[in-house]
Amino acid sequence: MKRETVVVLDFGGQYNQLIARRVRECNVYCEIYSYKTDIQTIKDIQPKGIIFTGGPNSCYEPDSPTYTKEIFELGVPILGICYGAQLMMHLLGGKVEKAPVREYGKIEVNVDTNSKLFTNVSPKTICWMSHNDYISKAAPGFEISAWTNDCPVAGMENTDKNLYAIQFHPEVLHTQEGTKMLSNFVYNVCGCAGDWKMDSFVEDSIRSIREKVGSGKVLCALSGGVDSSVAAVLLSKAVGNQLTCVFVDHGLLRKNEGDEVEAVFGPEGPYDLNFIRVNAQERFYSRLAGVEEPEEKRKIIGEEFIRVFEEVARKIGAVDFLVQGTIYPDVVESGVGGESTVIKSHHNVGGLPDYVDFKEIIEPLRYLFKDEVRKAGLELGIPDYLVFRQPFPGPGLGIRIVGEITAEKVKMVQDADAIWREEIAKAGWDKKVNQYFAALTNMKSVGVMGDERTYDYAIALRAVTTTDFMTAESAEIPWEVIGKTTSRIVNEVKHVNRVLYDCTGKPPATIEME
């Protein structure tokens, strides 16, 4: 059965993933493709609709991202957003130029509620605008469907050709009725049925994994995190005993985590995963000795992981498939799917070595966003406390120790992190923040303890609120909680004489330190 798909054509906008997520929230499957993707590939997908994203460029500049006009002749409905709207007008004979007044922020927009895009939307609705250029004249054949005081052409449509364009961003939550508009596009304009649901995802995946694997042996990389746990349980439902799960303790886990993972997924736990634990701490530490550069650390950890798996696989013999819990944001952020710049190569994707000794890698969650992974986890009957765990990166504490990693530093950050997590949970803040951890800065500074001078490390505490992990805000944790944690850390963790709280949001910082 072919799944109905909406294609998001990415022109470099920062909200490209959000567009795809919102469409999926409408139960319509959606994938992101770079504007460099050739039209035949798009045709082969047979999309129900196409959405052009925003982007930072001016469409009338010679080297700006563009697309062949042939796309407008496919008979597939298209929605242009911001840059995407301007580009559509530019290509079809409208006029785009520098706006006399730059619009930025929440703006009241008047919409024509007779438009299919604005069905059930209030005639005056708050939308998020962010543009320097504007459409001064819609292309021939287009009717104006939305406007503001400063932007006379904020929405336009050619209903004969099913082409729609809007200057504002419906995907951003600041656009109060944005989800309704996207839902109108996918249902009223594209005629989607809404077949993207997690129960059918789980069923379809189980079926297709069975087909692919046949009687082959499968090895799953299990870290105990949400993604790999969901992947492992999914695989176990699909292929039962043919699956072996390998948990590599790379010595960069949180305090006691290795034993906790073993308690849940090991032979004593509720799952039957042929669980193998490999204690490879020393091996990772020696490969990482003297390495300071974050990307290099990631690559080493990623590669060493794969090497360990290969060795286990050789011992088991005749392993055909390797399963990884890669999810869609890993793919897009690693610069594989859309147009965004590589910020960090997440080790599941960008850090894979060129040569991998398996017939094939299976990534059953490769096209899911985190919230969808969680829904799939619940569908599979995985308990809530595992499904809603805060994320923990594949390279683990390796990217929470700035600079060189040593066993001593790992111990410091583990102990400090355990205290922080305990105090956050005691204060009930674990439900209010989405990710929180301690990191070891590479900074040493002078302190005084008793009457002695100390020259020791500084721990940074971090806690963020975020919905998508693409942007985040530093959480305003009460001072008592930070204070209590600080005094415990400096008292209980050797070689730490200073504790700092990271107040930076993302952007400009990232959530992890490296």
- Catalytic residue numbers read 82, 169, 171
Q: Is 370 in the site for ligand XMP (CB under 6 A)?
A: no
Q: Which stretch binds ligand XMP (CB under 6 A): 75-83, 160-168, 178-186, 343-351?
A: 343-351
Residues 6+ apart with CB under 8 A from 185: 49, 51, 77, 79, 117, 164
What is the SS3 assignment for 59-102?
A: CCCCCCCCCCHHHHHCCCCEEEECHHHHHHHHHHCCEEEEEEEE
- Using CB under 6 A as the binding rule, whether residue 511 contacts ligand XMP is answered as yes
Is residue 391 a contact residue for ligand XMP (CB under 6 A)?
Answer: yes
Task: Tell me the C-alpha to C-alpha distance, in Å, between residue 213 and each of 241, 309, 432.
Answer: 12, 18, 41
SS3 144: strand
Helix/strand/coil (H/E/C) assignment for every residue in 6-31: EEEEECCCCCHHHHHHHHHHCCCEEE
Other CB atoms within 10 Å distance of the CB of residue 100:
8
Q: How far is the CB of 245 from ligand XMP (least distance, A)?
A: 17
Distance CA 280, CA 310 (A): 14
Contact 95, 135 (CB under 8 A): yes
- Interaction between residue 347 and ligand XMP (CB under 6 A): yes
In the complex with ligand XMP, the residue whose CB is nearer, 346 or 366, is 346
Binding status of residue 512 toward ligand XMP by CB under 6 A: yes
User: Does 394 participate in binding ligand XMP (rule CB under 6 A)?
Assistant: yes
Q: Helices (DSSP H) in 240-270: which residue ranges?
A: 257-265
Q: Does 228 bind ligand XMP (CB under 6 A)?
A: no
Exposed (0-12), middle (13-18) or buried (19+): which is 87, by Cβ within 10 Å?
buried
With beta carbons less than 8 A apart as the criterion, state whether 475 and 25 touch. Answer: no
CB of 66 to ligand XMP, least distance (A): 30
Residue 346 in the binding site for ligand XMP (CB under 6 A): yes
Q: Are 281 and 249 in contact (CB under 8 A)?
A: yes
Nearer to ligand XMP by C-beta: 33 or 392? 392
Q: Which is nearer to ligand XMP, 16 or 348 (CB)?
A: 348
Q: Is 419 in the site for ligand XMP (CB under 6 A)?
A: no
Considering only 155, 251, 337, 393, the residue that binds ligand XMP (CB under 6 A) is: 393
Task: Kindly write out the interface string for residues 433-472 of this chain, putting x where it contacts ligand XMP by CB under 6 A and - elsewhere.
Answer: --x---------------------------------x---
Total residues at the site for ligand XMP (CB under 6 A)?
17
Contact assessment for residue 288 and residue 398, using Cβ atoms and an 8 Å cutoff: yes
Nearer to ligand XMP, 35 or 305 (CB): 305
The answer to whether residue 395 forms part of the interface with ligand XMP (CB under 6 A) is: yes
398 binds ligand XMP (CB under 6 A): no
Question: Where do runs of H (alpha helix) occur along 195-327?
Answer: 198-213, 226-239, 257-265, 281-288, 294-316
Closer Cβ to ligand XMP, 404 or 502, answer by number: 502
Shortest Å distance, C-beta 217 to ligand XMP: 25
CB 510 to ligand XMP: min, Å: 3
Q: Which is nearer to ligand XMP, 110 or 465 (CB)?
A: 465
Binding site for ligand XMP (CB under 6 A): 298, 343-344, 346-348, 391, 393-395, 399, 435, 469, 506, 510-512
